[in-house]
Every structure is written in structure tokens, then in C-alpha cells.
Amino acid sequence: MALDRLKKEETLAMRMRLIGQSCKLFYSDDPVKILRARGQYLFDENGERYLDCISNVHHVGHCHPSITKAAAAQMDLLNTNTRFLHDNIVLYADRLAATLPEKLCVFYFVNSGSEANDLALRLAQQYTQQEDVIVLDHAYHGHLMSLIDISPYKFRKLAGQKEWVHVAPLPDTYRGIYRENHPNPGQAYADTVKDLIEEVHRKGRKISAFFAESLPSVGGQIILPRGYSAKVAEYVRSAGGVFVADEVQTGFGRLGSHFWGFQQQGENFCPDIVTMGKPMGNGHPLACVATTVEIAEAFTANRVEYFNTFGGNPVSCAIGLAVLDVIETEDLRGNATRVGAHLKDLLTKLQTQHQIIGEVRGAGLFLGIELVTDREKRTPATKTAAFLRHEDRICVSTDGPWESVLKFKPPMCFSMEDAELVVQCIDRILTVATTAFYVGMHLLDIYCMRSLNTIKDSHKDLISHIHNFSVE
Amino acid sequence: MALDRLKKEETLAMRMRLIGQSCKLFYSDDPVKILRARGQYLFDENGERYLDCISNVHHVGHCHPSITKAAAAQMDLLNTNTRFLHDNIVLYADRLAATLPEKLCVFYFVNSGSEANDLALRLAQQYTQQEDVIVLDHAYHGHLMSLIDISPYKFRKLAGQKEWVHVAPLPDTYRGIYRENHPNPGQAYADTVKDLIEEVHRKGRKISAFFAESLPSVGGQIILPRGYSAKVAEYVRSAGGVFVADEVQTGFGRLGSHFWGFQQQGENFCPDIVTMGKPMGNGHPLACVATTVEIAEAFTANRVEYFNTFGGNPVSCAIGLAVLDVIETEDLRGNATRVGAHLKDLLTKLQTQHQIIGEVRGAGLFLGIELVTDREKRTPATKTAAFLRHEDRICVSTDGPWESVLKFKPPMCFSMEDAELVVQCIDRILTVATTAFYVGMHLLDIYCMRSLNTIKDSHKDLISHIHNFSVE
């Protein structure tokens, strides 16, 4: 197969014509065409290498040969649906069960994190016989209609907030209502959920579920404060609801120290439903819901079949099993711990040199850098973040309500050298930006004294750069 | 890899323990464990062969080597998301566009028919700025919350009918309100939709979409009467709505004569949105929505991104392209036409010998047999249908409101010999059933003269068989 059948401009023209424009491209002013990938590296049509700091989906590394081999072997044998008995689905469920607290022992396999969250919502509503859901501000739980309803990040731009959806403050100790100087932000933020439940009760409504990512990602790579989840679970359960932990972004050892993000909240906390997705199949459409016997039984009680055509098929499960094998045999959790710590350390050192870095946070290979134009006021440095996003063939991405958080969630084989490379790159860009700022100030003085058409082209370019870096 | 790592009873025990019981097994009293498959044949743990008459998902045949090869080659190269430019997605969209009327030229790739129908609903509602949907009675459009709402087959057993959902009669000329003796059932059934639209308007509501499978499958392998869709589209569009054709079960040449089911309704009919799924990836989770420039532009207008993590990735699209190639190179549409016609012919002959066969209908390799205990009254022979479903290692399935329709939707490589085998098998079982009925009548006479405990075990078995066959 020829790798590059179309010229980049042809690909782009066909893309514009044939694919819905709501499906956006990275770097839309100069999109990147990637032809092949290996581990944490992407290669474009000219063979140029990009360091991938964002593909959490390709968890054990792009195009890992063990995954390809497992997929091809099973594709050659059998790929039926789950109405037939098969070993792969039960062996895979058993392996997943071993990573989870004992009570999360019933599994439903689906094709995407969105399908998993939709099913989690059904399970919660059927078990509690209630409808209302509490979600965190800025949360995103998927692209399906039911999930847009419980995703403030989406519904605020679309149909708005439904009467059965209630938004709790994002427990963000950098920008939120309780910050790092609060004596017990975990309790304080949990109390906001308690207050919300009381407000819901005053409206004569009842809570079905509290739905939250274990580490809010679109919200800005947020680490929930200690004690938060256990307290919220206590309040939600007293109100008759269940706690749904969305692990679509954070599961499968990304944090290094724990296999699941929710485990960071301590051993006394266990969700009632866990959803998983992105990294699960290393790019293959595979996702899952884990829950308790009680919730599963309530779902079965109405005797209505749940059938998912592709979910849990022998190929998907063979791939899922192979991913778990690679995580173990290559000690990718150990790697996430070591490389993540080194990367965080380097970024924290960088913070001492660059005023624009307001905070470095995260765990393992799930890190975020808050960029601010003013450390005191914590003013989001949105434009600098956007500029950093695709410089020097280092793919990072931005998130958070102001798109001011640079986020790292690379394939788990990310190395010490990769960490050093990306930090050097950020350092260089921020240094140029700082210099450009002072040069820019001087140039703007000149600019004010002359008419526009006397400014040389090179100066125009420089002014454009200044705009990118300093005018936030 | 050892094919059979667990004994069947271990697999079953683990399945009962680990997988939600709402995920049902075929033949739940004696589930089948399938280890490998090829073409239209499945093989269990003892190497016994089953003829697969139901896996429309495995469209070009189970484990087709061309599909495995294409998947493995692309998995080894690259499997990113659609935020990067890639040739596969645009080449695939271009190939699909060539099968469709010119106006259906914008594509969105997703992971399942359910995700496709959920997106179709969003597209329709955003384009029309209305909410209400008309669906056909007994319809099933997917397992997601939004689709249960528009699936009478599901919502009647669950949360019930929402005020924005309106159910039109299933245009079934065998059991419906207008039958084969009606001079123009297409017009008559379309008029029921017209009446429903007027009723909706009287309630002060507006139609967003008419949603229907091109050949209703769960409804009982229904062939829409001639002229129906064009007339419905006319009424729906006059009311400001769009026509969504759900081709998840019927697309990709299954009918032989046409690539898409809706094309059976004539060249003057074109839907506004087409959804596709099951056969698209031959078992790989791949689905799609095709629509018009106008609807896609309305969806883009709010500037909110639609991102589907796995949808349209290079591996999924490589598989989709390989499926299209095999359909062409192996002339599977021609095969569906020829084998389907032969099968229908054999079944129609069988109808002359067995009173229980009320109707044989369908096109290509999408066929249904209505089983009735009384041809005049058309009483559904539900129990006989259930019994036939898994006899003699021929996998067929049942559908329709009374589960009395035996349906055939085999892999497209189904052969003339397969057709003959399955018809011989049905003939044999129905012959035994007829004999059993008369023997049974005699035994029941004896039974009435004696007390239960004097009946020998063999007689008990026979009575149990009679129950299966004759007591509907």
C-alpha cells in the first residue's frame, strides 16, 4: 500500500468537501498530515518526526506490535457478537475485575467512552428510579445527546441546561472558589455538592447520580482535593444517588501510582459505577462500564435485553487483553511514575524562570501547566498557550475554561529524553516570547511615531509575533 | 493462542458472574460456544459446524483474509484520530459517495449504528430547529438513551412514549391495516403519516424528522410498499422535517438489486440523512452518517466541534475500504441476487407443503418467513418459530412483534448449497412437527384417561415436544 496516495493539498480539499466541518482539524491554519507512527512519535508526509504529548488513546504506544499481532490473530479466528459464549470476554472481564475494588465486579462492553457514559446514566437512573444528575462545572462526558445534557462544557454552547441537571463547582484549588490556602478544600468543595443536593430536594426532585471524571481533563487537568470524593459519595448515597467515576481519560495506570484515577482518593472510597474508554484498546473502539451486582440486577429486573452489536466481541477483547499484558510486561505504570515525576520536576524548575507559568500540577503522565499573564491575578494566558500548542513539532494541547492549561497525556512509553526535549522546547519558546515582548515594546514606540507604510516587512512580522506572545 | 482455554461450563459460569445479565445469550437454555468461523460457517468447541443465516454484520464472510490483512497493515502503520489529515477517511468517504445519490455527499464517521442514529437525530433537530420525530411502530434504532426514546420496540417496555415522539403504523401489507389486497398500500400508509403530521400540528408542535429503517427488520423483515417513502418524504418536507433512512441493517448491497435499501423505493426518492453501521466494517466497530451540504452546514453553524475519538480513524477506514473492495471483486451483490432468489423460490415452494408458512418475503439476502397457526386469521406461530431458530445447527433468528418471523440475513457469501440445506432442514422440522401434532393429539387422548404418574418418561418428552410444536 502506498503510504501517501494523495498530495497534502488534495487530502485537505477532499476533507473540506466530504467530511462534516464540525469535525475539526488540529492546527487548522496549517493542518498536519501524519502517515505513520511508532511509540510516542508521529511522522508526516515528509518524514518529519513529531513528539506526541497528547495521544492518551495510544496508551502503550502507537502501532505496538503486540497489539497488532493479537488483533490480527483473533480477526483470523472469530469475531462474533456476545450472544455466543466466548472465552475472551470473560477472561478480559476477570482481568479488569482484578484491578478494581471487589464490589465493582459486573461488566458491560461497548465501543466508546460515550457509549459507556450513556449506559452508566441508564444504569444509575434505572437503579435509583430517579432522573436528576449532578455534574462538575466545565465537565465533558461525551458527544451523544444524553451526554451533552450532562456536560456543561457542551450544553452551554448548545441547548442549555436541562431542569434535571445540576452543576457543582469544579474543585479547582488554583482557580476555584476554595484555593490551595484553604485548610480543607476537599471538605469545602464536597459541601458545595451537599448544598446542591439540598437545593434539589427543596425543588421536590431527587438525585440519581453524581457524575465526575476522576481527574477532570477538559476542566483543565484538575487534581481533586484530598477527601473530596469519599465525602461526595457519602452525601450522594444518603440522598439515594450513586457515584459514577468517569475514567475514560484517566484509567489504565496513567497516574503511575494507581491503576484508576479514583484510587488517588484513598482506599475508603469506591464509586458505584466506573466508565472506561480511550486507552483501553490502544486506538481500537473499545470501552466498558463496571458496576456492582445490585445495580446490574436492577438493570436486569425489567427483563429488557441490552445488546451492543460490536461491544465485547472476541477481537475487541483480545486487543484489551493485549493492552493489559503490555502495561504489565513493559512496566508502563513504573515508567509513568518515573518519567512523569521527572517531567513535573523539570517543569517546576522552569516555573522559577518563567513568570508565565502559574502552576504545574498532575500525577504520572497526566500533567497540566497553567499559563498566566499575571501570577497574582492568575489571568489566563490563552494566546501563549495556543501558540505553544504546535511549535517545533511537539504536539501538546490546551484545555480548561480559558484554554490556558497546556496538558500532557502522552503514550505511556514516553521517555526521560522526551521529557527533557519538550521542556527545552517550552523554555526556548517562552524565552523568545519574553525577549519579543521587550523588543516589541520598543518597536511599538517607533510604530507610534511613524505611519504604517513606512514599517519594513520584517518589523510587521515582529509585531505579529508580539501580538501572539504578549497581547493576551 | 490456545483456542479453547476454558471448558464450556467454566466460560458459562464466568459469563454469569462477570457480564451483566441484560446481555443475553442465544439459546439461553443451552448456549453455544463458538471458537472459530469462516465465510458463512461457525465452529463450536467440538468442531461442529453451524450454518450462519443471521450474521449480517459479517457481511463479506467471517474472518475474510482481505479484511484481516488490511486491518493489520494499517494497525502497523498508524491509527490516529481525525484531527490529523489522513487519506483513508477521504478516500473512503469518496467511495461511499459514489454509491449514494449526489446530494448525500457529507460524511461523519462513528463507531456504531447507535452512534450514527444519535448523530442523525442531532443533525435533524439542529437543521430544523424542531424536536418532534415520527417513527414506525415496532421500530428499533439503537441502544442509546436518545434512541430508546424513538424505538417503540424498546420504549414500550421501558420509560414509555415521550411527548415529542409520534408512532406511525408499520407499513406491513401482511399484518398491517392495509394489506396486499389494497389497491395502493404505499399511498394509504403514507397518508397515515400525513394524518399524524396534522395531529402533531394541532398540538402546536412541529416535525423535525421521520425516522425509518429502509426495510424494517425488528418489525419483521418488512418490505415497504411501492411509493411509500417518496410520498412520506413529500409530506414530511412540506411540514419542515427531514427524512432519515436507517440503513444499519440493510445497506451495502444486501438486497442484491440495490446498494442501499432506500433505492428500492425508486429513483425519485432520496432521503436527507442516511445512517449505516453493522455490515460496514465486517465486525469492526464502524458506522457512518451521510447527509446533505445544507444539513451539515446547519450543524457547523454553531461552531461547536463534533469529535468522535475513534470514529473515522485510519484503521476503521482501511477496513471499510477493504469491505467495499471485497463486495466488488467477489460480486457479492450478484451472489445476493442469485442465491436470494433461489432461497426465496425454495421457501415459496415449501409454503405449498406446509400450512404454517403464511408468507415468504424479502429481497436478495434479506428474507423473512411468516409462520402462522392459521393462514386465514394469520395467527402468529411464535413457539414453532422459536423452536426452528436453533435446530440442526442452522442459526436463524426470529423477529416481528410476535417473534413469528423467521429471518435470513446471512453473510453475503451464502451459497446455493447453503440455501438448499437450510430449506431441507426447515422442511424436515416442519414435517416432524406436523406428525408430532397428530401423534400428540392421540397421546393427549390417552393422557386424559390416565393419571399423570402412569405416563412413561418417553411420553412426557413427546408431550413436551407437542407443546413446542402445536400449542401456540
Closest partner CB to A112 (pick from B15, B76, B115): B115
Q: How confident is the model at residue B451 (pLDDT cuts 50, 70, 90)?
A: very low
Is it true that domain A65-329 has CATH number 3.40.640.10?
Answer: yes
Q: Is the pLDDT of residue A437 over 80?
A: no
Does B19 sit within 8 Å of A78, measured CB to CB?
A: no
Mean pLDDT of B434-443: 65
- pLDDT number for residue B86: 97
Does B107 sit within 8 Å of A11, measured CB to CB?
A: no
Q: What confidence tens digit (pLDDT) does each residue in A248-275 have?
A: 999 999 999 999 999 999 999 999 999 9
- pLDDT number for residue A440: 63
Cell 412437527 belongs to residue: B433
Terminal CA-to-CA distance of chain B, rounded, Å?
A: 46
Does B5 sit within 8 Å of A87, measured CB to CB?
A: yes
pLDDT > 90 fraction of chain B, expressed in percent and rounded: 85
Give B71's contacts in chain A (Cβ within 8 Å).
71-72, 75
Cell 493576551 belongs to residue: A472
Q: What confidence tens digit (pLDDT) does each residue in A377-419 have?
A: 999 999 888 888 767 788 888 999 999 999 999 999 999 999 9
Distance from CA of B196 to the nearest CA of A (A): 25
Q: Is the pLDDT of residue B466 over 80?
A: no
Q: Is the pLDDT of residue B454 over 50?
A: no
How would DSSP label each residue in A41-101?
Answer: EEEETT--EEEES--TTSTT-BT-HHHHHHHHHHHHH----TTSB-HHHHHHHHHHHHHS-
Give B162's contacts in chain A (Cβ within 8 Å).
none
CATH superfamily of the B8-62+331-430 domain: Aspartate Aminotransferase, domain 1 (3.90.1150.10)
Give A36's contacts in chain B (Cβ within 8 Å).
77-78
Give B58's contacts in chain A (Cβ within 8 Å).
79-80
Q: What confidence tens digit (pLDDT) does each residue in A277-311 have?
A: 999 999 999 999 999 999 999 999 989 999 999 99
Residue ranges of the domains in chain B? 8-62+331-430, 65-329
Closest partner CB to A71 (pick from B11, B58, B71): B71
Does B307 sit within 8 Å of A93, measured CB to CB?
A: no
Mean pLDDT of A342-366: 97
Beta bridge partners of B368: B361, B407
Q: How confident is the model at residue A470 (pLDDT cuts 50, 70, 90)?
A: very low
- pLDDT number for residue A471: 42
Q: Is the pLDDT of residue B82 over 60?
A: yes
Select the more confidently predicted residue: B220 or B29.
B220
Mean pLDDT of A139-168: 96
Cell 453455544 belongs to residue: B32
Q: Which residues have a Cβ under 8 Å from the Cβ of A63 and sit 6 or more positions away?
A: A36, A37, A38, B75, B76, B77, B78, B79
Q: Is the pLDDT of residue A469 over 70?
A: no
How would DSSP label each residue in B353-398?
Answer: H-TTEEEEEEETTEEEEEEEEETTTTEE-HHHHHHHTTSTTEE-EE
Q: Is the pLDDT of residue B36 over 70?
A: yes
- pLDDT number for residue A61: 98
Mean pLDDT of B448-457: 50
CA A387/CA A382 separation, integer angstroms: 9
Does A65 sit within 8 Å of B76, measured CB to CB?
A: yes
Closest partner CB to B158 (pick from A24, A93, A304): A304
- pLDDT number for residue B460: 56
Q: Is the pLDDT of residue A240 over 70?
A: yes
Q: Is the pLDDT of residue B409 over 90?
A: yes
Q: How confident is the model at residue B464 (pLDDT cuts 50, 70, 90)?
A: low
Contact in structure between A400 and A216 (CB atoms under 8 Å)? no
- pLDDT number for residue B159: 84
Q: Is the pLDDT of residue B112 over 60?
A: yes
Domain formed by A8-63+331-429, architecture: Alpha-Beta Complex (3.90)
Does A304 sit within 8 Å of B154, measured CB to CB?
A: yes
Q: What is the CA radius of gyration of chain A?
A: 24
Closest partner CB to A78 (pick from B37, B75, B309): B37
CA B283/CA A75 separation, integer angstroms: 9
Q: How confident is the model at residue A452 (pLDDT cuts 50, 70, 90)?
A: very low
CA A28/CA A220 separation, integer angstroms: 22
Beta bridge partners of B62: B39
